[in-house]
Structure 1
């Protein structure tokens, strides 16, 4: 059994705390990467000295397997150090985005990363210039090259999209320029933008923040939801033209790189990066467009239960059972998560709980801190997790989600060599959503309170809506604006807002009334700056539902396959890794099962509410 406190988070009625006000046990320990910033500087200098040495391998990779191996090992060293510098500087900046010193560290790391890209840019085209029989002989005779087999195979697979060494170097030199739209958006979104105050449920003036905005959207007080929504959106209206320019700029950047590499579209370029068949993407979009009825039904149910003449966008997050609203302090959330993830085995639990107490997590919102939540890390240190925890059920699921990423990184780094230590988003989100699915199953099974059970069911429906349907709505919007740029059409903030509004309305149906500022959502979503990223939340959700169902059924083989999957990194293509884990994403079955699950949950909730 579990219980929830009904005490409101203190931060709702106080100013945002300073970082120094937070107990050290709730702050991450970046000193585990670099004990001092002097050590960061030493690594920076070391990398500066290492980069010119890569030129010693130019034009020599066809000499022998030994030469090729030494070159690839040096490339690993370069990227390992680069990533360590970049991750540390990025997380220091996220501690307080207002601190110029951290911004300078981050900018220096980013600039050096661009130089690293230039330094190694000759490797892929030079490997492709070696006759295939000779490459095969190198891989066979030089045992150290065995760990690079998938890396080399992938280079050969993308031969038609790899340019000459000099052209590859030019593209690498454009790295800083290419990141400019996202950098501008990030500074506006995290540092420059100021949200007005609103009156909370008790009538207290409270400074609006991103985290408080999302929490207020769950308030039973419709006046507060409306004011929070209008205040939050109005802050972005101030930067309307700038944000429109950054989004259209990032699409132009994506199109430039796609054309430079001889792809037919930005979509083809994005999917080919991890060898995802376009049919997987197209089937996903088609499946959801053909099955919007249950989402429309849920919108109608929400309107009916809330007894509203008109349902607005700010009414989509409020629990339909407000009397069961759950306030969950962080430490209580950890206890619940530990019990919920027990099906993953003792070793997983032991490693996970050690992470919660070993400086992995930065828990609470503080002045100037980066928004949202993420997991990040580097190969030579444990993973890290940024949170802005605010005692909500949604926050608890975020902890479980991000810890899924952390454990994926932790097990991969223990098992894989550096070259295979990455994660494609297509697989990474499976690890996080599996945790969420197990947590929901535990909560539903372990509450006897009918109101709480209904609340949890409501939350589960909202999670599928947000992770599956909403992400696919985003995906369709993204596909449309990319297609327009490819067709030579100009994008403006006004045209993007209209496309977003039309797409949102189609997905959520005629019973949802959109307000004039609701379409500003298209200008404040980070993931649009990562080409065709969000559809993978939907595929990952479908895969996670399949995997977690097998684990919960006590299928030991399924658990073993999943734990091996967590260790696999990117040692193979994502589709193959998921097949090994027991899910075939080239089949429509996982997607259809998710759509069926959502429909059945909506039906169950409708019956319980009658």
Structure 2
């Protein structure tokens, strides 16, 4: 029965419905953004026509308080409309990437965003010509400017790093050139690499791809896992020198910009853009390294449960629990999510019901739809969620994760003015993974007398912690190292990257696993290494979320109120201060220590169940 079902699932994958055949109630309703593409076009032209007038405002900021207010409001009004245009085009393209008209629409929106950046690149350098004394007089002369004080202060904090108008305009206009490494990697990885077929556990030939690889690595058949692992890296091995060159281009881009802007390092430059102290990054790597014994212990337990003489890297993703994942349909998952989130209070739950009942979610996979899942939207739209639904526990977690993002957007946009109605990615991952941790607590309590379900949930949690805290920190440590080495003049050759990555992998996973030679190539297929010190936020976010969820589930109503205030804060304060209001000081290691304590408790519980 299991084999037959696996065969049917593979057949269904080959026969995905076309977009037009997906039931409307399982698609998102983008008419809440624009009733028609003609309305999109109208706003697009409106923003386009604004660009010359934005450029003409250059040179006015030092004239008067009124001039600064005019320039600020003109720029923000155009940015607000641009965001709406951009998101509509992106969502339309993602729902069916084969539609030429929406490919073109999205390309137009991307180009317009670049033009807007170039047209407003003068603003920050010119604002920096105003000293503190002048700004004080401006606030007195035009009190409305106080509404934008934090916006200005964010620029003043970078006073020593912002260059002249002319240089800023050149840098903004050269964004496409600077991102060439990332773009080349994307084309090669997503389009040009040709992967072989592998034999699945039902004896069928399956075309290997990034998505299929992830599925095969979870197979209970070890030969399938090994075959997928080795064949995938055979392909990357053929192109490792090219991929080392694309990654080097990206690293040099970051180091060049950091140097030009007079930062001590590319890491400091990247973190300063989101107002995060470097010590947050350093604390993460330090604390994770102190607790690697917990990962080693979990890996050793995995080896014992699987009953293998040698544990390989391709054995780290297969579930430790026999049988299929618990089945959760989309409708069942919505009910579970609402039940789990009751601890957040009736107001929060009602907003989640809005999301579930008003077509904010694009649920099922259709042919040519973008893979994965995300939450998107703008200040003037409701949040939208893209899913590619499968009836399993993982998708239940994806739903509640993306709901966390969407509720963050909802609360921020409904409680802050436009200029503070968004938030940095640093705090974003906390909202989504707090929901995940709340769900884990809910399920463990619900199934406290059901050892089989407890094993599934604990296995899911431990693997999630391994993948989010330990693995993303491993990536963060690698990313920091290669930027430092490039800055010292070390050529980032494929062999250099392979050797270091394999050593780092061995350090993280310990002696119970064999760091196969292929794993040295893992750096070559990770798109996040092109995102400029992005991945660490997954780890810090999950760790902070562990503390917040524990406070909410096991604490009093005051913790919920603090948490909702964090969601409402948007970008009205620095991310660190926003999180302090929620009850977590992320400049200190305590939140990480607590996360590891929770991991250890659940690891203890999981061991006892075996």
Question: Is the structural similarity TM-score above 0.5?
Answer: yes
**Other-structure match for 2:113:** 113
Q: What TM-score do you get using the length of structure 1 for normalisation?
A: 0.94
Question: In the TM superposition, what whole-angstrom CA distance separates every residue of 1:79-104 from its partner, at most 9, and x where no partner exists?
Answer: 22222222222233323334444333
Report the Cα distance in structure 2 between the residues aligned to 1:40 and 1:83, rounded to whole angstroms: 11
**Other-structure match for 2:97:** 97
The range that moved more, 483-492 or 509-518, is 509-518
Q: Is the 2:430–2:541 contact (alpha carbons within 8 Å) kept by the matching residues of 1?
A: yes
Show the 5 A alignment for 1:438-517: 438-447=438-447, 448-517=449-518
Show the 5 A alignment for 1:378-417: 378-417=378-417
Report the Cα distance in structure 1 between the residues aligned to 2:285 and 2:174, rounded to whole angstroms: 33
Report the Cα distance in structure 1 between the residues aligned to 2:236 and 2:92, rounded to whole angstroms: 26
Show the 5 A alignment for 1:272-421: 272-323=272-323, 325-421=325-421
Show the 5 A alignment for 1:574-593: 574-593=575-594
Deviation at 1:209, TM superposition (A): 4.7
Matched positions, count: 604
Report the Cα distance in structure 2 between the residues aligned to 1:432 and 1:87, rounded to whole angstroms: 20
Question: In the TM superposition, what whole-angstrom CA distance separates every residue of 1:302-360 from its partner, at most 9, and x where no partner exists?
Answer: 00110011111221112211236323222222221111111111221221122133232
**Other-structure match for 2:266:** 266
Deviation at 1:246, TM superposition (A): 2.5
From the superposition, tell whether residues 232 and 286 of structure 1 become closer, same or farther in structure 2 (CA, over 3 Å): same
Q: Is the 2:502–2:517 contact (alpha carbons within 8 Å) kept by the matching residues of 1?
A: no
Report the Cα distance in structure 2 between the residues aligned to 1:9 and 1:346, rounded to whole angstroms: 43
Question: In the TM superposition, what whole-angstrom CA distance separates every residue of 1:98-152 from its partner, at most 9, and x where no partner exists?
Answer: 4444333222222221111111111111111123112122224423222211111
Q: Is the 2:379–2:422 contact (alpha carbons within 8 Å) kept by the matching residues of 1?
A: no
Q: Is the 1:363–1:386 contact (alpha carbons within 8 Å) kept by the matching residues of 2?
A: yes
2:386 is paired with a residue whose SS is strand
Report the Cα distance in structure 2 between the residues aligned to 1:443 and 1:8, rounded to whole angstroms: 27
Deviation at 1:399, TM superposition (A): 1.6
1:389 is paired with a residue whose SS is coil
Superposed structure 1 runs of 4+ greater than 6 Å apart:
6-9
Alignment of 1:150 onto 2:150: yes
1:97 is paired with a residue whose SS is coil
**Other-structure match for 1:3:** none
From the superposition, tell whether residues 180 and 337 of structure 1 become closer, same or farther in structure 2 (CA, over 3 Å): same
Q: Is the 2:7–2:202 contact (alpha carbons within 8 Å) kept by the matching residues of 1?
A: no
1:11 to 9, 28, 40: 9
Report the Cα distance in structure 2 between the residues aligned to 1:353 and 1:232, rounded to whole angstroms: 42
Q: Is the 2:225–2:314 contact (alpha carbons within 8 Å) kept by the matching residues of 1?
A: yes
Stretches of structure 1 lacking an aligned partner (at least 5 in a row): 1-5
Show the 5 A alignment for 1:548-559: 548-559=549-560
Deviation at 1:74, TM superposition (A): 1.1
Stretches of structure 2 lacking an aligned partner (at least 5 in a row): none
Q: Is the 2:283–2:588 contact (alpha carbons within 8 Å) kept by the matching residues of 1?
A: no
Deviation at 1:361, TM superposition (A): 1.9
Q: Is the 2:376–2:384 contact (alpha carbons within 8 Å) kept by the matching residues of 1?
A: yes
Deviation at 1:443, TM superposition (A): 0.8
Q: Is the 2:459–2:606 contact (alpha carbons within 8 Å) kept by the matching residues of 1?
A: yes
Question: In the TM superposition, what whole-angstrom CA distance separates every residue of 1:394-423 from its partner, at most 9, and x where no partner exists?
Answer: 222122111111111121111212211221
Report the Cα distance in structure 2 between the residues aligned to 1:601 and 1:99, rounded to whole angstroms: 47
1:227 is paired with a residue whose SS is helix
Report the Cα distance in structure 2 between the residues aligned to 1:84 and 1:579, rounded to whole angstroms: 31
From the superposition, tell whether residues 493 and 222 of structure 1 become closer, same or farther in structure 2 (CA, over 3 Å): same
Q: Is the 1:98–1:191 contact (alpha carbons within 8 Å) kept by the matching residues of 2?
A: no
**Other-structure match for 2:30:** 30
Report the Cα distance in structure 1 between the residues aligned to 2:562 and 2:221, rounded to whole angstroms: 46
Report the Cα distance in structure 2 between the residues aligned to 1:235 and 1:25, rounded to whole angstroms: 41
The range that moved more, 438-447 or 203-212, is 203-212
Question: In the TM superposition, what whole-angstrom CA distance separates every residue of 1:411-443 from its partner, at most 9, and x where no partner exists?
Answer: 111121221122112111110000000010111
Q: Is the 1:208–1:228 contact (alpha carbons within 8 Å) kept by the matching residues of 2?
A: yes
**Other-structure match for 1:601:** 602
Deviation at 1:449, TM superposition (A): 1.9
Report the Cα distance in structure 1 between the residues aligned to 2:534 and 2:551, rounded to whole angstroms: 27
Deviation at 1:280, TM superposition (A): 1.9
From the superposition, tell whether residues 357 and 192 of structure 1 become closer, same or farther in structure 2 (CA, over 3 Å): farther
Question: In the TM superposition, what whole-angstrom CA distance separates every residue of 1:194-218 from its partner, at most 9, and x where no partner exists?
Answer: 5444443333444445444333332
Report the Cα distance in structure 2 between the residues aligned to 1:430 and 1:516, rounded to whole angstroms: 35
**Other-structure match for 1:522:** 523
**Other-structure match for 1:533:** 534
Q: Is the 1:111–1:176 contact (alpha carbons within 8 Å) kept by the matching residues of 2?
A: no
The range that moved more, 321-330 or 380-389, is 321-330
**Other-structure match for 1:567:** 568
The range that moved more, 215-224 or 51-60, is 215-224
2:387 is paired with a residue whose SS is strand
From the superposition, tell whether residues 189 and 414 of structure 1 become closer, same or farther in structure 2 (CA, over 3 Å): farther
From the superposition, tell whether residues 94 and 525 of structure 1 become closer, same or farther in structure 2 (CA, over 3 Å): farther
Coordinate RMSD, CA, aligned: 2.2
Report the Cα distance in structure 2 between the residues aligned to 1:92 and 1:9, rounded to whole angstroms: 32
Q: Is the 1:211–1:372 contact (alpha carbons within 8 Å) kept by the matching residues of 2?
A: no
1:452 is paired with a residue whose SS is helix
Show the 5 A alignment for 1:147-296: 147-237=147-237, 239-296=239-296
Q: Is the 2:426–2:537 contact (alpha carbons within 8 Å) kept by the matching residues of 1?
A: yes
From the superposition, tell whether residues 242 and 576 of structure 1 become closer, same or farther in structure 2 (CA, over 3 Å): same
Show the 5 A alignment for 1:414-433: 414-433=414-433
Q: Is the 1:217–1:317 contact (alpha carbons within 8 Å) kept by the matching residues of 2?
A: yes
